[in-house]
Structure 1
Amino acid sequence: MNNFLFAAAENDAIANCKAGGMGDVVRDVPRKISEKGDKVHVVVPSYGRLHKNGILKTNLNFQLRNTTYIAELYEVVPKKEFKNIHHYVIHHPEIEAGDIAHIYHNDPKEPFFTDAIKYFIFCTAVAEAIKKEAFGKLDVVHLHDWHSSLLLYLRQYHGLYTSLKKTRFVYSIHNLAIQGIRPFENNYSSLRNWFPDIPIDYKGLMDYRYQDCINLMAVGIRLADAVHTVSPSYKEDVLLPSRPPEFIGGEGLEEDLKKADNEGRLFGILNGCNYKNIRAAGSGFIYRNTVKALFRWLQEESKKYKADFLAHTGEKVMEYVGNRPKFIVSSVARLTEQKFYFFKRSPEAFVEILKKLEKVDGIFMLLGTGAPDYEELFRDFSYNYKNFIFTNGQSEDLIDSIYLESDLYFMPSLFEPCGISQMLSMRNGNPCLVHHTGGLKDTVEHMKTGFSFDGETYDDKIRNMLKSFDIALDVFQNDKTTWKKIKSNAKKMKFTWEKSVDLYYDKLYLLKY
C-alpha cells in the first residue's frame, strides 16, 4: 500500500474549505487513489475554525522568527467518509481566516503579506509533522499552488528537514497568475524575518521581475520532483511568454517551466470531473432557487449594503416565473479579470449580446462574487438591462439549477488552466461557448460539443466572440437537429478522474497501480 500526503490551502472534502477549483481537485483525487487501495492523508490550514470539532492528534513544535511555535494537528470529519482517507487541519492562532471564502486574505497595499505569514507557519508545521511521521512513512507528497510550495524550500535549505528529501514531492499549478511574491528581507512578512538562520540562496529563489523577492510559485516549479499543469494545452501555453491581453502564458516563469520540461519534470494532465453521486437539482426550480437565495442573502449582515440591489434582482426574477424566457445563457464564476476581462474592457460587446438575446426572448444569468469593480460593473448592467439577471452571491442550489436549466453556458475566460464549469455544464448536456485557450481547448470543440472563439488580436477576439454567439443562437433557433447533436455530444464527453489519476501514477508519482 502506497502512502500519500496532499497539502493545500483548500479541501472541499471538508465543509467550508473551498474558494475555487483547487478545492475540488484536493477532494476528488484522494478518492480515486483510495479506490486503488492506497492510503491518503490530506492536510490544510484550520483558518481558526476548521479544527473545532476535530480530534487533536499531536502538537508540533518548531522554530520561526527565533521563537518556538506550537501548532496543533487535528483529524477532522469529512463531508463523506472514504476508506483509507484521513483529513487533517493545522491550527495556530496566527493562521487566520481571510475575507475571500474565509480562507485567503486580500491585502491591496501589500499583496500576499498576510497569506505568506499563515502559509509560512502552515508549511513549517507540515514539515515537522512529516519529520515526526505523524502521517506514517510517506511515498509521495503532493503540493498544490504556492501556498504549500514552502515545503520544498524547507526540504532543500532547512537543516532540520533534509529527511524530506527521501520522499517524492509533486507540485500542481492551478493558477500560475497568483505567485506568492514576498521580499527576501526588511519586511515583517519576509523570508529573512521568518527563517533568520537559513542563508538565502537569492539566485535560486528570486523572482525575475522583483529580484529582491522570493517567488513561491517559482520555488514549487524549480524544486519539485515533478511539476503538473491541470491540462495539456495549458502546459503548452505556459512555456511561452505572456502577451496580455492577446495571450496569457508563463507569466514571467516560462524559463523555469521550460527548464522543468527539458528535464522531463513537467506534465500536462487534464483535471477530471465527478460523474457519480451528483448533487442533483430538480428541474424547473431555477427562479424559485434564485428567490430563495436572494431572501437568504438579504438576512446576512455582510450583504446589507447590497439590499437595494438584491431586492431589484428579486423583482426582475419574478417577471420570469410565469413568463419563462425561450433561451437562457448563463455564467457561474468568481468575478475577476481572468473570467470577465472581455466584458470589462468591451462593455459594448456585452450589451450587444444582451440585445441579441432580447430579440429571441432570451436572458443572461450570471452568478458570482469577486473584485468590487467587477461586481459594480455587473450591478450597473443589471439596473440598465431587463434581460440580465445578476445574482451577486453564492448558492449551491442555484448553481445546480443554472447548470441544469441553461441552454448555453458562457465562459469567456482570458486564460483557463483547466476549468471545471464547462465540464459541469457538458455533464448536463448543455453546450458551452468558450475562449479557445488552455483547458477550454482540451474540452470544447467548436460546432461538435459546443462553440468557441479566438483571434490574433484583442479586437479579433471580441469580433469572433460575437460571431460565435450569433452561430450558437442561429443553430438553436433554426437547426434543431444540429443543436440536439451538439447537446448529445457534449453529454457524451467524459473527463473522468480515473483516466487522470492513472496518468498521475504513471507520470507524476512513478508508482505502479
Structure 2
Amino acid sequence: MLGVIQLFSKPEEQANLNRKIMNNFLFVASENDAISNCKVGGVGDVIRDVPRQISKRGDRVHVVTPSYSRLHQEGTLISKLNVQLREVTYVTYLYEVKAKEEDENISHYVIHHPEIEAGNLGGIYQHDAFEPFYTDVIKFTIFCTAVAEAIKQKKFGKLDIVHLHDWHSSTLLFLKEYHPAYSALEKLRFVYCIHNLALQGIRPFENSYSSLKNWFPKIDFDKDALRDPRYADCYNLMAIGIRFADAVHTVSPSYKQDVLLPSEAPEFVGGEGLENDLRQADKDGRFHGILNGSNYHDLKETKKNKLFPNIATGIFKQLQKEHNRQKAEFLAHTGEKVVPFLKKRPNFICASVARLTEQKFYFFKRSPEALIQILDKLERVGGIYVLLGTGAPDYEELLRDISYKKRNFIFINTQSEEVVNSIYRDSDLYFMPSLFEPCGISQMLAMRHGQPCLVHHTGGLKDTVQHVHTGFTFDGKTYDEKVYNMVEGFKEALYLFEHEKSTWKQIQLNARKMRFTWKKSVDEYYKLLYTGNAMEVGIA
C-alpha cells in the first residue's frame, strides 16, 4: 500500500528527488482525453488531468480504456489476454498507445476485442432505447475482465491503487469479490469515483445475453449484495462500486450532499435510489466529496473573435460527410444564419455547450416557452444565443424547430472542438440550466476566460458560481419557481451588462480570478482516498 510521504516545503522537483517511495496507480475509465478520439464528456478531462498531477508528485500512473474498435490501430501490442466468459475463451489484446502530450511517469493503454465496439454517442457509448445499457454492459464486462487479467499478470507492474470511474469500471470490484481467478485483486486498494449517479448500469441477473449469469455462469455470488434497490431481478453496477470500494467520492462537495437525499425530480435530483448505500458509505467513513479541477497551464488558446468563422468552417466540414438529408438541410440553415455575423458581431452572445440530455436541458424541453422568452429579450438588444450539442433525438428535434422559428437562436447540431473553444473565449454569458450537475467543467472553462455564467444552483455549480460575484444563479422550491427564476436570472444578467457596466466588468474580473486547481483536488485525493488519513500530502 502507499507509503507515507513527508511534508515538503521545498520546490516540487527537489521534493520528488528526496522521496524514497514511488507509488504505482492504475486508472480505469471509459474515456481518456489524454489520447485522441476518446472523450465525450467531463470524465475524459478528469482522466487526462489527474494522472498529470500524480506524476508531478513523482508517482507512476497507468491509464486504461476500451479501444472501441479504433484506438488500438496505431498502438503497440503489449500482450494477448485470454479470459473466460460464458464458458468460452475470449482473446483480448492490451495495447499501449501514444498520448497527445507525453509524460515519462504516465502510460496509456487500450483493450481491444471485436465486441468492444464504438457507440453511437461520441463513438464511445451506445444509446439502447428499448433495453438500457444492453450493449454497453457487454463491452465493459469484457473490458473489465481483461483489465483484471492484465493486473493478475502484472502487465502494469506491482500496483498500489486502482482508481475506478463510474459504473463502466465496477465489474472489477465484482471480480475482486467473487471470482477465484482474480483473488490477487484483494491486495489492492480500490477507489471509486461517481461522475454521474443518474447512469447506473442496471441489467438482469439472468435470461439476457448481457446478464450477469450469462457472463459468469459458474461463479457463486450473493444476489442481495449486488441487487438494484428498485428492480429485484437486476444487479446495479453503480451500486457495486459504492458497496465494494475502499473509498468512494463524488466530483464536488455539494453533489455529495445532494446524493445522500432521495430524489424528487424534477424539483430535486439526489441519490436516484442509491441514497441508502451512499449513507452507509458515509457512515463507514468511505464517502467524500472532492471538487474537480480545471487546467490553467499550457493552454492551446483559440484566437479571439473567431467564433463565427469557426462555426462556418465546422458546418462546412460536417456537410461534406453528412448523409442524412434532414440534418444536412439544417446545417445549411444554420450556416446561413451565421453569415451576417462574419462581418459584424452581435451586441450580446449567450452560449451553451452540452450533450442534449434530460440532465442538461430538461427545463427547455418541458418549458420551451421559457427559452422563447429568453430569445425575445436577447432580440430586443441585438443579442443571440449559440447552443452547440448533439444527443437525444427528441431534444435535437425541439431545438431545430426553435431555430427555424427564431432567427437569433443558432443551434449548432454537430461537434467541433474549435467552435467549443471559441464559445468559451468569445461569448458574453455562459448559460448552464442543468437539472442537476455533479460538478460541471464548462462553467470553469468559461470563467477561466472571464465569462460570467448563469447556472442552476445545484451540485457542483453551487461550489463554483457565486451570484452577482462571479456569475448568476437561479433556484426554486418548485419546478415552476425554478423556470420563472431562470428567466429572471437571465434578465438580471442582461440588465447589468447593458446598464451597470462597472458591475459587469467586476463580475468578469472575479470570474477570471477564480482558480479550481487540480493540485488542490489531488491533494485531497492523497489525503482522503488513497490511504485514508495516513498520508501527508507533499506541497508543490
Kept after mapping to 2: 8 A contact 1:143/1:172? yes
1:197 aligned partner: 218
> Displacement, 1:323?
3.2
> Displacement, 1:324?
2.1
CA distance in 2 between counterparts of 1:87 and 1:302 reads 34
2:509 aligned partner: 488
2:275 aligned partner: 254
CA distance in 1 between counterparts of 2:275 and 2:141 reads 25
1:392 aligned partner: 413
CA distance in 2 between counterparts of 1:424 and 1:373 reads 28
2:477 corresponds to which of 456, 465, 473? 456
Q: TM-score, normalised by structure 1?
A: 0.99
- 1:265-317 per-position Cα deviation (integer Å, ceiling 9, x unaligned): 00000000000111211111111111101100100134543111111111111
Instruction: Give the letter for the 1:312 counterpart.
Output: H
> Displacement, 1:321?
2.2
Please state whether the residue corresponding to 2:305 is helix, strand or coil. Answer: coil
2:31 aligned partner: 10
State percent identity of aligned pairs. Answer: 66
Map of 1:328-477 to 2, 5 A cutoff? 328-477=349-498
> Displacement, 1:61?
1.4
1:242 aligned partner: 263
Instruction: Give the letter for the 1:79 counterpart.
Output: K
- 1:105-155 per-position Cα deviation (integer Å, ceiling 9, x unaligned): 111111111111111111010011111111011010000000000000000
Kept after mapping to 1: 8 A contact 2:322/2:328? no
Instruction: Give the letter for the 1:387 counterpart.
Output: N
2:95 aligned partner: 74
CA distance in 2 between counterparts of 1:87 and 1:315 reads 42
1:49 corresponds to which of 70, 94, 98? 70
> Displacement, 1:35?
0.7
1:163 corresponds to which of 169, 173, 184? 184
1:151 aligned partner: 172
CA distance in 1 between counterparts of 2:326 and 2:502 reads 47
1:305 corresponds to which of 289, 314, 326? 326
Structure 1 position 96 matched with structure 2 position 131: no
Instruction: Give the letter for the 2:270 counterpart.
Output: G
CA 197–14 in structure 1, closer or farther in 2 if over 3 Å, else same: same
> Displacement, 1:322?
2.5
2:15 aligned partner: none
Map of 1:223-238 to 2, 5 A cutoff? 223-238=244-259
> Displacement, 1:493?
0.3
CA distance in 2 between counterparts of 1:94 and 1:464 reads 47
Q: Which has the higher relative contact order, 1 or 2, with Cα contacts under 8 A spaced 6 or more apart?
A: 2
Instruction: Give the letter for the 1:78 counterpart.
Output: A
Structure 1 position 208 matched with structure 2 position 251: no
Q: What are the ranges of 5 or more consecutive residues in structure 2 without an aligned counterpart? A: 1-21
Give the stretch that moved more between structures: 280-289 or 249-258. 280-289
Instruction: Give the letter for the 2:229 counterpart.
Output: Y
Please state whether the residue corresponding to 1:252 is helix, strand or coil. Answer: coil
> Displacement, 1:360?
0.8
Map of 1:259-278 to 2, 5 A cutoff? 259-278=280-299
Q: What are the ranges of 5 or more consecutive residues in structure 1 without an aligned counterpart? A: none
- 1:302-345 per-position Cα deviation (integer Å, ceiling 9, x unaligned): 45431111111111111222332111000011111100000110
> Displacement, 1:470?
1.1
RMSD, matched Cα? 0.9
- 1:148-180 per-position Cα deviation (integer Å, ceiling 9, x unaligned): 000000000111111111110000001100000
Kept after mapping to 2: 8 A contact 1:297/1:303? no
CA distance in 2 between counterparts of 1:281 and 1:303 reads 30
Instruction: Give the letter for the 2:44 counterpart.
Output: G
Instruction: Give the letter for the 1:132 counterpart.
Output: Q
| Stretches (4+) displaced over 3 A | 301-305
CA distance in 2 between counterparts of 1:215 and 1:102 reads 24
Please state whether the residue corresponding to 1:335 is helix, strand or coil. Answer: coil
Q: TM-score, normalised by structure 2?
A: 0.94
Please state whether the residue corresponding to 1:299 is helix, strand or coil. Answer: helix
Please state whether the residue corresponding to 1:129 is helix, strand or coil. Answer: helix
CA distance in 1 between counterparts of 2:390 and 2:399 reads 10
Please state whether the residue corresponding to 2:170 is helix, strand or coil. Answer: helix
1:479 aligned partner: 500
CA distance in 2 between counterparts of 1:308 and 1:26 reads 37
Kept after mapping to 2: 8 A contact 1:272/1:496? yes
2:201 aligned partner: 180
Kept after mapping to 1: 8 A contact 2:255/2:438? yes
> Displacement, 1:19?
1.0
> Displacement, 1:202?
1.0
2:135 aligned partner: 114
